[in-house]
Amino acid sequence: MSNPRRILLADADAYFVACARLADPTLADVEQLIVGGRSDRGVVTSASYACRPFGVRAGMPMAVARRLCPDATVVSVSREEIQRRHDMVAAVLQRFAPEVVAASVDEFYLDMSGTERLYGGETLAVTAARIREAVREETEISLSIGGGAGKTVAKMAASLAKPGGVHVVAGGEEGTFMRRFAVAEIPFVGPVFAESLARRGVRTVEQALRIDQATLGHWVGESRARWLYQRLRGVDDSPLREEAKNRSLGRGRTFAFDHTEMETLRSELLRLVTELGPTLRSEGVRAGTVALTVRDGDFTDRRAQRALPDAVRSDRAIYRAALELLSKLRTDRAAPTRAMTLTLSHLHPDGAPRQLALFGSDAAADPEREERLSDAVDRLRARHGAGAVLPARVVGARPDEQTSRFGPPRKG
DNA sequence: TCTGGGGTCCTAGGACCC
DNA sequence: TCTGGGGTCCTAGGACCC
């Protein structure tokens, strides 16, 4: 048998709150700090530890958080700041581990297998503590680090280490370690899965260990049973880096009010296109499929998608396809719209040969000309700021934003 | 309490092909 | 005329993650 793997999960403590304080030093002494969206209809992205005794948690509706913790200061953080700090942390981690994989914006898996000699035989916990200290010194971000033979155990160990600690599960102890948890605490066991087990009286790992795999298979299906059976015993051979099969890019927005006017929805859709199109092009890909999801006022999510005969990359081509989807969704059900998300998938490298449609779906459209136009707009924005060029309909729909949109171009 | 925004993966039915 | 099984693609919906 080969040596067990040595996996660490480094998880940033209240990451968005930390970024908010670093971006705005006046927040450094504000103990009760909540990061969330600007909208009153948003949720908590991250809450400082001082807010947590009040019951404030990530994902909680902002209205509830304000009621629980009325003295808290609520701020938002730019995506750029979040990404910048993420890159800084990653750079430090890469000095310590041969393989570092970002699992999300505030979590990194490190494969420390085979580094025993490199670290002079010190324990994994000691190495983890040194990594924690180096990241704190160089980036001012506090990590909690969990360790073990697989990703699941490492992640659950990190939850015990929080905030700002290290917890490493010794090789061979994984099974014992798991026995202290509820099944719902295992990553990827969500509320629905947990409830289907709870209905059979199984809530804790201890209880689940008494169920044989065939019975679990009857309850939740064979593949999930096999998966759970292993996780319950601390067994997890999954590789650090899982190949994403169908990558996608999306942009969405929850509106301040539910919208019923098609004209308003069209201009909101155009806004999403003008945000998403540049991202698509900067990634150097085309999209083969366009999907639109609307959330109705009653919280019903409905989705329409279309595979395109030619993969697209211009704003106009994306907008044309998305508008058809919007019309379809509105025809199916004319309910007020609370939120809208535009998603592009089946992404191909831009250089890949395009399928040439024998019969163009729109005789008036000239794809190449439209792509050159989008490229030109991207260049203008890069030079003069994101607000420099906006479609007329978007500007017209938001008179309150016109002054800032049309302010003097930044020197650059 | 009243529910964000960014994603990935899975399932299931229907169309279509061999 | 009535019948098969497998494979792939598309679409829609949903679970789950941070």
Note the CA–C1' distance, A155 to B14, in angstroms: 41
Note the CA–C1' distance, A365 to B5, in angstroms: 32
Q: Residue A138 has what pLDDT?
A: 97
DSSP A39: S
Note the CA–C1' distance, A222 to C6, in angstroms: 22
Q: Where are the beta strands (DSSP E) in A247-392?
A: 248-259, 285-296, 301-312, 337-349
Q: What digits encode the pLDDT tens for the residues A33-84?
A: 999 977 779 999 999 999 999 999 999 999 999 999 999 999 999 988 999 9
Note the CA–C1' distance, A193 to C17, in angstroms: 14
State which residues between 218 and 277 of chain A bring their CB within 7 Å of strand C.
none
CA A278 – CA A235 distance, rounded (Å): 42
**What helix, strand, coil percent values describe chain A, rounded to 5?**
45, 20, 35
Q: How far is CA A73 from CA A27, A28, A31, in A?
A: 9, 12, 9
**pLDDT higher than threshold 70 for residue A360:** no
- Is the CB of A105 less than 7 A from some atom of nucleic acid strand C? yes
Q: Is 0.75 surpassed by the pTM of this model?
A: yes
Note the CA–C1' distance, A330 to C5, in angstroms: 40
Q: Which nucleotide is nearest to A250 (CA to C1')?
A: B6
Q: Which nucleotide is nearest to A289 (CA to C1')?
A: C10
CA A231 – CA A226 distance, rounded (Å): 9
DSSP A153: H
**pLDDT higher than threshold 60 for residue A363:** no
Q: Residue A2 has what pLDDT?
A: 64
One-letter amino acid at A393 equals R
CB less than 7 Å from strand B: which protein residues?
A: A 37, 39, 41-43, 45, 58-59, 61, 63-64, 67, 104, 221, 223, 242-254, 279, 299, 338-339, 341, 343, 345
Q: Residue A354 has what pLDDT?
A: 55
CB neighbours of residue A141 within 10 Å? 21
- Is the CB of A129 less than 7 A from some atom of nucleic acid strand C? no
One-letter amino acid at A395 equals V
Backbone φ, ψ for residue A277 (5° rounding): -55, -50
- Is the CB of A188 less than 7 A from some atom of nucleic acid strand C? yes
- Is the CB of A302 less than 7 A from some atom of nucleic acid strand C? yes
**pLDDT higher than threshold 60 for residue A412:** no
Please name the residues in contact with A56: beta carbons below 8 A apart, sequence gap of 6 or more.
A34, A44, A47, A65, A68, A69, A72
Average pLDDT (A219-247) is: 90
Q: Flag the least confident range among A70-79, A269-278, A346-355, A365-374.
A: A346-355
Contact A360, A268 (CB under 8 A): no
